[in-house]
Structure 1
Amino acid sequence: MERPGQRRSFSRPHRSVEMRDRQAEREVIAEFLRAVRTGAGRALVVRGEPGVGKSALLDHLTESASGCRVARAAGVESEMELAYAGLHQLLTPMLQRVEGLPGPQRTALRTAFGLSDGAPPDRFLVGLATLSLLSELAEEHPLVCVVDDEQWLDRASAQVLGFVARRLDAEPVGVAFASRAVADDLSGLPEVLMRGLEDADARELLAASLSAPLDQQVANRLVADSGGNPLALLELPRGLTPAELAGGFALPNAMALPGRIEASFRRRLDSLPDECRRLLLLAAAEPIGDPVLVWRAAERLGLPSDAAVPAAEAGLLEVGAHVWFRHPLVRSAAYRATSASARQEAHRALADVTDPVSDPDRRAWHLAHAASGPDESVAAELERSAERAQARGGMAAAAAFLRRAVDLTTDPALRAERALAAAQASFQAGAFDPALSLLAAAEAGTLDDFQQARVDLLRGHIAFASGRFQDAPRLLRRAAGRLEQFDLQLTRETYLSAWAAAVGAGHLAEEGILLDICRAVGELPKSGTDPQPLELLLDGLALLITDGRAASAPALLRAARMFATGDRTVEDMVRWGWLAAAVSIAVWDDDGRLAIAEQTVQLVRDAGALAQLPVILTVLGTAALLSGDFPRAASAIAEGDTIAAATGSMVAPHISLRLLAMQGKEAEALAMIEATIKQAGEDSITATNAFWAAAMLHNGCGRYAEAAAAARKATSNTFEPWISIWALPELIEAAVRGGDLATAREAFERLTETTQPSGTDWALGIEARSRALLSDAEELYEEAIERLGRTQLRPELARSQLVYGEWLRRAGRRTDARRQLRAAYDQFEAIGMGAFAERTRRELAATGERVGERNEPAVGDLTAQEALIAQLARDGLSNPEIGARLFLSARTVKYHLAKVFTKLDITSRAQLDRALPGPGQ
């Protein structure tokens, strides 16, 4: 990482000629600056081919940014492997303010920059720290950040800056990028596509760049070949003789335009003295732009102090406080136009003069480029650099260091180990294809059994992460089998991953793979009388498939309660808490379902494991829905969506579907259900969940034929062990109401296979209600209400009171019916279950009791994000704390709260408590 105060070079084209015309682009820049000055943050990507004027437009932006503070950075091709190098360059002038950031953000940023030790920071926490830092700086003056050559930023910096650029709604901050191509990290941001100059401007620029008249046909050819590219118009004619320009001889060939421009620069470089070319090579290989380092290296090579003069006179290089190339293509030409041995010599000299204490990683990188063949000492240096990169959270950089270390390693065993490490780092950086290539390289050597098991394990994780669900269970199963003789804990974790992968793959998985996994788990050595929660969880899940629910329930219940009571490691909770919470719901464990989800969410937040957070928020939202706490479920949805958008992960709309169905928002629910099934396919788990939501919605609306049809599909997925069971009560109710008692009885038999082994009030209460629907036994309705009344499951209690009231009304007992129906109606209204409330209202009307129409609460006017921010503020979180939770700056939180106050017609946080609905409202 750079020393404090260092600044790296970036190319600066001649603005005066390249900014001809460009009126439309200038207007975009003017609007960009107007927004930033008024506190409305903006992001902008200037895209175009090399030489088209992107850097010139950014220079115009900085010159026009009067009244604003400006920070600049640029990507450098040779620095792409140094984690957070580009971000450090941008933030170096602001680092004295880092101490004012909230603790976790301060630690993350300092660790990323190598300024302090700590656990590898999550890159999204680094992003939030960067956003907070820029927001704080902009409190004094509007801030404009300019990032040139974005395509050459290191991966970590590009991800962070793309993250920041999407979160500037209420900040007086603008971030502008120049990039040659559409970058994944900047996709979706406002964009300006720079094209060549119009014909008249192109001809004017061409004529201005020449000292002699130009043949008209040659001018036509040059303008056409350049496509109006300003740099091409300036460079292509250079090096051609007057005769060639006059007659059109030796004009550029059919090479791509950037190649032709670089070739033109090479011709100009060829005319320079040898010592000057060698100095240019040093400058091209040294990306910091530090003249001290360049001149020290030059001295080692015996180059004179005036070696740069011819390049400066030719307008190719500027040497002063920094070393500047006129354009990146000049740097590229100066580097590529030399022999491999000359480049190695330059890097060796630069390595010799680079401080091994303050800048060890850049020195190691120079040493790697200087190596002419395998070199164990350099490979070891690169391995240490990879460790430092990993400690800073730079997995892409670590992978790059390790890949080069592999190339320089001769010992077969060490080469295989480094290839495995490089593959692991590549996988963690999201580079799946390079990871697979490195695994193949490892397998090309000699691997021991443990290394081969690690190869299989990584292949399985890559298959699952890249969406090859049909391959992942088999690969993970094979890895687990090979790991048994080495690490039983890792074996169990791998089998858990294999189990989850097989269930997630559903019908796409290899036939019989899930059963094979579970049988293998059954053969693992047992811990005896004191098994750990993870072992119990795995054993219970395996028994669920091999021996059924009665056999699995004791282990699963015990595992769920151990997770709920804190009898587990933090690592286990972060990795497997989501599964334990889902298991708790699956075994009808009312006590554990919410406790596990809440604890896991908090531990995942504390650990900064943001990629896992949307999954556990889905489980927390499910637990909240079961309690009838719709505001909390909506908060989980909004937070999960916010984090998923920040991390680029995908989250299935499970809770959103169920929430809309339970609320009875018919049009919205049906549209989302249809779209979800169409996108996921009817055989997927996601579709199973959608059919369950549809069954619930139709039962609420009293459309029992539609409810039964949806519930049949929801309960027919033989690969899915939970949702299909939870949908059985919907099928029983719909089938009974539709007169299909045979279907209802069959569903009831399946239901009791899960409720009887559990024996909880939740399980037996649902069973009693379902049995009552089939038998018309009043004592069973009362048992259901009594049991469910002892739980936190208010929706299920209200539904039991509703069906009991319907039965009483049909029996002619109107007074008793009104009592049950009124209790159900009040509960549905308080929860917000609109369709069920309307069904209950109609039933009450049939008893002779009239109930007024429902009114939607004012909070419905808030967006999901506004509602979440309002709830967090009501719960006592400060603006910075809310921002940290939702990846927003404190200023943006304040902006959204102001809109909340306006919509709710309140003036302070103290009034939020009465303005927002709570669980019991």
Structure 2
Amino acid sequence: MQQQPLVDRETERAALDSMVAAVRDGESRVLVVQGAPGVGKSALMGYAEQTATGIRVLRAGGIESEMELAFAALHQLCLPLLDRMAVVPGPRREALETVFRLRTGTPPDPFLVGLAVLDLLSDASEGQPLLCLIDDAQWLDQASAQVLGFVARRLLAESIGMLFGAREPSPELRGLPTLEVTGLREADAHTLLNSLTHARLDQRIRDQIVAETNGNPLALIELPRGLTPTQMAGGLGLLNADMVPGRIEESFVGRMQDLPEPARLLLLVAAAEPAGDTDVVLRAAGQLGIDLAAAAGTDGLMTIGERVTFRHPLVRSGVYRAAGAAQRRTVHRALAEVTDPRVASDQRAWHLAAAASGPDETVAVELERSAGRAQARGGVAAAAAFLQRAVALTRDPARRVDRMLAAAEASLDAGAVEDVRRLLGALPGGLDAHQSGRAAVLEGQLAFASGAGVAAIPLLVNAATRFADTHPQLARETLLNAWGMASVISDRESFVAVARAVHSVPASGERGALDLVLDGVALLVTAGWADAAGTLREAAKLIGDLPASAVVRWGWQSTVVFGAIWDLEALQAVCTQQVRLVREAGALQVLPNNLTGLAYALTWAGEFEQAAAAIAEGELVAAATGNPLPPFNSLHLLSLQGRERETTELITAALETAAATGFGAALTTAHWAGSVLYNGLGRYAEAMSSALAAEQTWEPVGTAWVLPELIEAACRTGEVQVARDALDRLIEATQPFDADFPAGLEARNRALLAHDDDAEALYQEAIERLGRTRMRPDHARAHLLYGEWLRRRGQRVEARRQLRTAYDLFVAIGMEAFADRARRELLATGETVRKRTAEITSDKVLTAQERQIALLVRDGLSNPEVGQRLFISPRTVEWHLRKIFTKLSIDSRRQLRDVLSHADDNIVTT
């Protein structure tokens, strides 16, 4: 088929020339060519391909009728590279092999698939630059779009270009660099029209055609076809500019209607076969008795070669829509009969569904099987589509309800909220207990996702009650989910409702770790710390033995027990293990939650550098997976560091989030951070106000951790009764756990309110007990409070010793505000103290990502291992390392370890 030459497009061609040149020079480039149908996107992509000399080109394209087939477009793109699969690291390779049906396994995380594709493309680009052309991206299946968008955002230093063509980019591609393609300039549009029309046209008619097509090249090319010279001379009639795609499609349909019947039927067969498989199309044509010789002439609308291709996607859609329903069913039936179920079972099931004229249980079962296969490959959107079609083909009422619920569950996983609402709204009455429970779970999840968190809890509790008799384990899992939601809401009544339901739905058989977690937190709410202590301790002993599958699903929720028993050292150990297991499982979507727990434990231990790395990694993963984390960990870290501007900015953002969503966890965390910050700065009235505000919402474990800040601030402002009440609550929470950290924390806070005769022994007990833990910030604060107490009593020598110890600890940890508070106290004792600050020079400033890479390399990770952690290619790691070495004036990895070990205080992030 002869391609119409490009007219004009100097700007667009220059952009593509620049992109191709950069890829050829070893750089990465991504571009989305966006514009209306027929405006010339495919022609521009063809131009890029023609100019890509010395570059290997990989092609894929979205097909409207193939959108339900998971990873269809990705398979097109990667098929030529499958011989390189051995270079992809184990878990990623297994994920890619699973989605391409080269192996069976558990459903892979789509972002693990994305990392595998990044590895595959990066390796292929080592020998020759790559240009990936993905046309009709608006019709990519969701799974492919998600992976390709992920990869596009990770490219940096590879010789890879990704060029997308789309009418309107899907959500997965939004935010990528975009080239907007509009109609031709008026003069160029006239030039093109003149080259196509041989009849003499009135200038007014020419102007009207150009204006009303908005210079759309395909409209200018296709609309005159089939018109007589008289019709052309008389004008095309008024065209509505926003109807141009429809008119183009109509022009294609008009051309088709002039073809002989065999040719029209062959076009329909090809339009209904989404993969462009020549063999399948020809065999289906034979099944329908089409005379291929008679059908050979299709007026250039279709070409049969290695693949069946149409002149334009609008040809396919126009042909399919112009056919009658009965004719489409006949064609799909023929395609199903010739599609091999061993290699294309999903396509065959989809054809059978399209061929059905009414309920058909056999086909519905096939669609269910296809949905199962799609879910096994991680194609949740495809699974939802198959199940929704199965619902339409189901006659039996009970089975139809089960399929509606399954379709709604899959649709929720795919983020198709409106489909979930529609399916739930169509459910009939008279559901059994299990069905109504499933429906209630879906309604609760919808409510929570919509911001109506308080309304979600009763729905989940109701669902658990319905499951209790027939599916007790499902009931308990539902309540564990409800607890997680309640923790975000931080609403006392919600916690009470969940806790009471837990008591009414006891575990069946021997209680495992998760049963003990659920029972422990429920007892904490309804009976208090003392009654819950034994169950919580028992749960904590078993959590480290959870299998990987349970860690992926429930691990981050299970760690609540360590905060409840005040054992943050065990929390750090378990979270480290869980992060490793989740990484190995490739469950990237839940990894940020596990990293959050690890960062929390590291922050309390005063390991600020490691905590910042865990926070940064969690934020990176969360951003990559499209589920940004709230800044709770950063708030905690910044407040302890005493960085007032950054902390107050995040507090403001968190309070705005709480106001917008009604989720109390944001409010509690923000005010708690404020209390820590202001205690460090010595602004005790503000600290007390923040601590009291943090208690406005309620979380049975987290609220207790605010109490030390409230006690200290209230004592310093003379609000003794407020401090005593808070101390009573703290003692109730800590006394059941006879360990150094809770006992030391209790002693430190008792000392603040004790008579002078008792205070000294309590301070010394606090220092001794906290000194045996890894909780360095609290140990340092015990020295500070003791030193302040001694100074007020006039014991300057001993006060100096305690305050100097506190100051040195705070400086070593990085608690700037508390260090300055200790320094002021030392000055008040008459000691001269030089304020220690880190020297910062411009050549030692690393970006946040450079810092992450530097720390990981310092810890001995290879470039591929760093790339796996940070979702970039080894080549990009090497590119960053070169910049890091330049900034730090070093030239080896060994020197990097030396620099970061001995002079890390001189390095800041920007």
Q: Which letter maps to 1:711?
A: A
Q: Work out whether residues 581 and 594 of structure 1, in 8 Å CA contact, stay in contact via their aligned partners in 2.
A: no
Per the TM alignment, residue 13 of structure 1 is displaced from its structure 2 partner at its CA by 9.1
Q: Work out whether residues 199 and 233 of structure 2, in 8 Å CA contact, stay in contact via their aligned partners in 1.
A: no
Instruction: Note the alpha carbon deviations across 1:682-738, whole angstroms, 9 max, x for none.
Output: 972112111111111111122222222212212332x32233221211121122222
2:9 is the alignment partner of 1:22? yes
Corresponding residue for 1:639? 617
Corresponding residue for 1:685? 665
Q: Which letter maps to 1:801?
A: H
Distance 1:136 1:416 in 2: 48
Distance 2:196 2:904 in 1: 77
Q: Work out whether residues 41 and 173 of structure 1, in 8 Å CA contact, stay in contact via their aligned partners in 2.
A: yes
Per the TM alignment, residue 463 of structure 1 is displaced from its structure 2 partner at its CA by 3.0
Q: Work out whether residues 214 and 241 of structure 2, in 8 Å CA contact, stay in contact via their aligned partners in 1.
A: no
Corresponding residue for 2:502? 521
Distance 1:118 1:414 in 2: 28
3-state SS of paired residue (2:378): coil
Change in CA separation of 1:734 and 1:865 when aligned onto 2, cut-off 3 Å = same
Corresponding residue for 2:713? 734
Distance 1:836 1:569 in 2: 41
Judge which range, 898-907 or 773-782, deviates more.
Answer: 898-907
Aligned residue among 773, 787, 792 for 1:810? 792
Judge which range, 142-151 or 882-891, deviates more.
Answer: 882-891
Per the TM alignment, residue 919 of structure 1 is displaced from its structure 2 partner at its CA by 14
Change in CA separation of 1:527 and 1:455 when aligned onto 2, cut-off 3 Å = closer
Q: Work out whether residues 432 and 466 of structure 1, in 8 Å CA contact, stay in contact via their aligned partners in 2.
A: no
Distance 2:494 2:902 in 1: 45
Distance 2:733 2:444 in 1: 32
Distance 2:173 2:489 in 1: 31
Change in CA separation of 1:590 and 1:298 when aligned onto 2, cut-off 3 Å = closer
Per the TM alignment, residue 251 of structure 1 is displaced from its structure 2 partner at its CA by 5.1
Corresponding residue for 2:867? 883
Change in CA separation of 1:260 and 1:109 when aligned onto 2, cut-off 3 Å = same
Change in CA separation of 1:677 and 1:287 when aligned onto 2, cut-off 3 Å = same
Q: How high is the sequence identity, in percent, across the aligned residues?
A: 54
Corresponding residue for 1:866? 850
Q: Work out whether residues 634 and 864 of structure 1, in 8 Å CA contact, stay in contact via their aligned partners in 2.
A: no
Aligned residue among 660, 664, 685 for 1:705? 685
Instruction: Note the alpha carbon deviations across 1:822-859, whole angstroms, 9 max, x for none.
Output: 21122111111111112212222222333333232769
Q: Which letter maps to 1:206?
A: L
Corresponding residue for 2:908? none
Aligned residue among 226, 229, 232 for 2:213? 226
Instruction: Note the alpha carbon deviations across 1:167-194, whole angstroms, 9 max, x for none.
Output: 1111111101011113200111110111
Corresponding residue for 2:606? 628
Corresponding residue for 2:382? 397
3-state SS of paired residue (1:192): strand
Q: Which letter maps to 1:409?
A: T
Instruction: Note the alpha carbon deviations across 1:738-768, whole angstroms, 9 max, x for none.
Output: 2222222222122222112223221121111
Distance 2:840 2:28 in 1: 29
Distance 1:291 1:570 in 2: 45
Q: Work out whether residues 557 and 589 of structure 1, in 8 Å CA contact, stay in contact via their aligned partners in 2.
A: no
3-state SS of paired residue (2:179): strand
Change in CA separation of 1:808 and 1:486 when aligned onto 2, cut-off 3 Å = same
3-state SS of paired residue (2:297): helix
Corresponding residue for 1:6? none
Distance 1:429 1:678 in 2: 28
2:654 is the alignment partner of 1:672? no
Per the TM alignment, residue 445 of structure 1 is displaced from its structure 2 partner at its CA by 6.8
Q: Which letter maps to 2:657?
A: Q
Judge which range, 574-583 or 534-543, deviates more.
Answer: 574-583
Map residues 796-807 of structure 1 onto 2, 5 A cutoff. 796-807=778-789
Per the TM alignment, residue 574 of structure 1 is displaced from its structure 2 partner at its CA by 2.7
2:461 is the alignment partner of 1:472? no
3-state SS of paired residue (1:177): strand
Corresponding residue for 1:7? none
Instruction: Note the alpha carbon deviations across 1:598-625, whole angstroms, 9 max, x for none.
Output: 2222222222222221112111111001
Corresponding residue for 2:541? 561
Per the TM alignment, residue 901 of structure 1 is displaced from its structure 2 partner at its CA by 2.4
Map residues 160-199 of structure 1 onto 2, 5 A cutoff. 160-199=147-186
Q: Which letter maps to 2:874?
A: A
Distance 1:285 1:140 in 2: 39
2:833 is the alignment partner of 1:851? yes
Aligned residue among 319, 322, 334 for 2:319? 334
Distance 1:74 1:207 in 2: 32
Equivalent pairs counted in the alignment come to 898
Change in CA separation of 1:236 and 1:542 when aligned onto 2, cut-off 3 Å = same
3-state SS of paired residue (1:73): strand
Q: Work out whether residues 473 and 507 of structure 2, in 8 Å CA contact, stay in contact via their aligned partners in 1.
A: no
Q: Work out whether residues 217 and 248 of structure 1, in 8 Å CA contact, stay in contact via their aligned partners in 2.
A: no
Distance 2:343 2:352 in 1: 16
Distance 2:873 2:405 in 1: 39
Distance 2:358 2:504 in 1: 49
Corresponding residue for 2:136? 149
Distance 1:772 1:35 in 2: 67
3-state SS of paired residue (1:305): coil
Per the TM alignment, residue 388 of structure 1 is displaced from its structure 2 partner at its CA by 1.5
Instruction: Note the alpha carbon deviations across 1:877-915, whole angstroms, 9 max, x for none.
Output: 222122122211111122222222233333222233332
Aligned residue among 262, 266, 277 for 1:279? 266
Distance 1:810 1:250 in 2: 95
Corresponding residue for 1:757? 736
Aligned residue among 756, 771, 777 for 1:795? 777
3-state SS of paired residue (2:452): coil
RMSD: 2.2
Aligned residue among 531, 538, 542 for 2:522? 542
Change in CA separation of 1:695 and 1:399 when aligned onto 2, cut-off 3 Å = same
Per the TM alignment, residue 799 of structure 1 is displaced from its structure 2 partner at its CA by 0.6
3-state SS of paired residue (2:156): coil
Per the TM alignment, residue 648 of structure 1 is displaced from its structure 2 partner at its CA by 0.4
3-state SS of paired residue (2:729): helix
Distance 1:919 1:124 in 2: 36
Q: Which letter maps to 2:762?
A: L
Q: Work out whether residues 318 and 324 of structure 1, in 8 Å CA contact, stay in contact via their aligned partners in 2.
A: yes
2:588 is the alignment partner of 1:600? no
Per the TM alignment, residue 256 of structure 1 is displaced from its structure 2 partner at its CA by 1.6
Change in CA separation of 1:333 and 1:639 when aligned onto 2, cut-off 3 Å = same
Q: Work out whether residues 787 and 802 of structure 2, in 8 Å CA contact, stay in contact via their aligned partners in 1.
A: yes
Per the TM alignment, residue 73 of structure 1 is displaced from its structure 2 partner at its CA by 0.9
Map residues 43-62 of structure 1 onto 2, 5 A cutoff. 43-62=30-49
Corresponding residue for 1:448? 432
Q: Work out whether residues 761 and 791 of structure 1, in 8 Å CA contact, stay in contact via their aligned partners in 2.
A: yes
Corresponding residue for 1:295? 282
Distance 1:857 1:436 in 2: 58
Structure 2 unaligned residues grouped into runs of 5+: 906-910
Q: Which letter maps to 1:523?
A: S
2:641 is the alignment partner of 1:663? yes
Instruction: Note the alpha carbon deviations across 1:786-823, whole angstroms, 9 max, x for none.
Output: 11111110110001001111111222222211211121
Corresponding residue for 2:804? 822
Judge which range, 612-621 or 145-154, deviates more.
Answer: 612-621
Per the TM alignment, residue 446 of structure 1 is displaced from its structure 2 partner at its CA by 5.5
Instruction: With the length of structure 2 as denominator, give the TM-score of the two structures.
Output: 0.95
2:338 is the alignment partner of 1:360? no
3-state SS of paired residue (2:403): helix
Distance 1:865 1:405 in 2: 47
3-state SS of paired residue (1:213): coil
Instruction: With the length of structure 1 as denominator, give the TM-score of the two structures.
Output: 0.94
2:123 is the alignment partner of 1:123? no
Distance 1:491 1:253 in 2: 58
Judge which range, 867-876 or 256-265, deviates more.
Answer: 867-876
Q: Which letter maps to 2:502?
A: V
Corresponding residue for 1:97? 84
Aligned residue among 713, 718, 724 for 1:745? 724
Corresponding residue for 1:492? 476
Per the TM alignment, residue 250 of structure 1 is displaced from its structure 2 partner at its CA by 4.9
